[in-house]
Amino acid sequence: MEVPPASEPPGPRAQIAGLSFGLLLVAPDLTIREANPAAETLIGQSARRITGRRLPDLIAFTERRLSERLLEGDGQLVARGLAIAVEGRRLTVNLTVSPLPAAPGWRVVTLSDAGQGERLSGDDRERGLRAPAVLAHEIKNPLSAIRGAAQLVARKLAPQDRTLTGLITDEVDRIAQLIDRMQRLGRAPAEPVGPVNLHASIRRASATLGAARDEAVPLHEEFDPSLPPVLANEGALVQVLINLIGNAQDACREAAAPQIVIRTRFVSALVLNVIRLGRPVKLPIEVQVSDNGPGVPADLRDHIFEPFVTGKKNGQGLGLALVHKLVRDMDGRISHERDEAGGWTHFRVQLPMAK
């Protein structure tokens, strides 16, 4: 059998454009000469606005030693979980600086988002979510027996003596609801996706919360009306938005002037390697839910998408873990950012566009 000839490989520029991490080419005077699409998305500016600017003027490094090393220009740098500021916006990134031996003084800088939503690999996270589901299955049967026994006892008691049996059945029902959420976390198959109107999903989630809560915090919408449909599962997307908006309402309810802002925008094509599927996915559509509450406790911010991690007094720690799973099942990405200077908490969901 004759083997067909291999097609021509893409050129260097096309290869750089397809990278999942941001890449900057920096001249000896620290002027940025090139920026790939992933760098545009991470920095939040077009390549035309990035190029020509000095790297220290665009990106502020919190570590002084790092800035000094950049000025030296003759060494290789590797930093993980590095805090930077871009035009006042705080990010946590993984950074490398590599000198080019054939061109003294020139460097290649790479930046990748070290945000909370993608820290675990797909397989690791799936294994972590299956464990609660197995536990949930084993707990359900004895719970049903406890509830049934409480109901039988209640029939033999006078109405004024049924308070404790009522408490038992109520607590069993609460635990059963918790178990249902645990099982949803461990459910492996993803729901089918199709074209979904993002703005209609946001308003549906908002209406659901408004009907369920007596004193819902008003929402301020900043929508891009030109957005095309996203590729998602409508029910899962609405559930994600209900969780995020509901969390925002809970977080800022005690603020002097509670505010929630929902923004949608089209971002320069972010390319994310979805390890689970082994293929790059473009995520050009973003929805951001922001509130002016006190934010997630600092010691929990790196773990908020993990099961049983919560900053709420009576929280169960499953809401954001479920949100992460649903977003990931739709090939999307979710991240969290706290703006201490402005007093805002931002959750960003990036989704693919329906073809």
CATH number for the domain including 304? 3.30.565.10
More confident residue, 310 or 146: 146
Same domain, 169 and 212: no
What ranges in the chain are assigned the alpha helix state H? Answer: 12-17, 37-43, 47-50, 55-58, 64-72, 122-155, 163-186, 198-212, 234-252, 319-329
More confident residue, 218 or 284: 284
Same domain, 95 and 126: no
d(CA 184, CA 121): 19
More confident residue, 180 or 249: 249
Residue 90 lies in a domain: yes
Same domain, 207 and 334: yes
CATH code of the domain containing 29: 3.30.450.20
Same domain, 101 and 210: no
Same domain, 166 and 198: no
CB environment 75-107: b (16+ within 10 A), e (fewer): eebebeebebebeeebbbbebbbebeeeeeebb
Same domain, 224 and 132: no
pTM: 0.58
Residue 3 lies in a domain: no
> Does residue 228 have a pLDDT over 60?
yes
**For range 11-21, the mean pLDDT:** 75
**For range 219-240, the mean pLDDT:** 92
pLDDT score of 152: 84
**For range 69-95, the mean pLDDT:** 76
Same domain, 100 and 132: no
**Region of poorest pLDDT, from 51-65, 212-226, 266-280:** 266-280
Residue 7 lies in a domain: no
d(CA 194, CA 232): 6
Look at strands 219-222 and 260-266 and give their pairing.
parallel
Tokens of 13: 């520029």
pLDDT score of 168: 80
- What average pLDDT is seen over the chain? 79
Look at strands 344-351 and 333-339 and give their pairing.
antiparallel
Residue 1 lies in a domain: no
Q: Indicate the number of domains in the chain.
A: 3
291 three-class SS: strand
What confidence tier does 37 reach under pLDDT thresholds 50, 70, 90? confident
Residue 2 lies in a domain: no
Q: Which domain holds residue 56?
A: 12-114
Same domain, 198 and 290: yes
Same domain, 16 and 46: yes
Complete edge-to-edge strand list for the sheet that includes strand 260-266: 219-222, 260-266, 285-291, 344-351, 333-339
Same domain, 199 and 341: yes
Question: 140, 179 in Cβ contact below 8 A?
Answer: yes
Task: Choose the final residue of a domain: 136, 170, 186.
Answer: 186
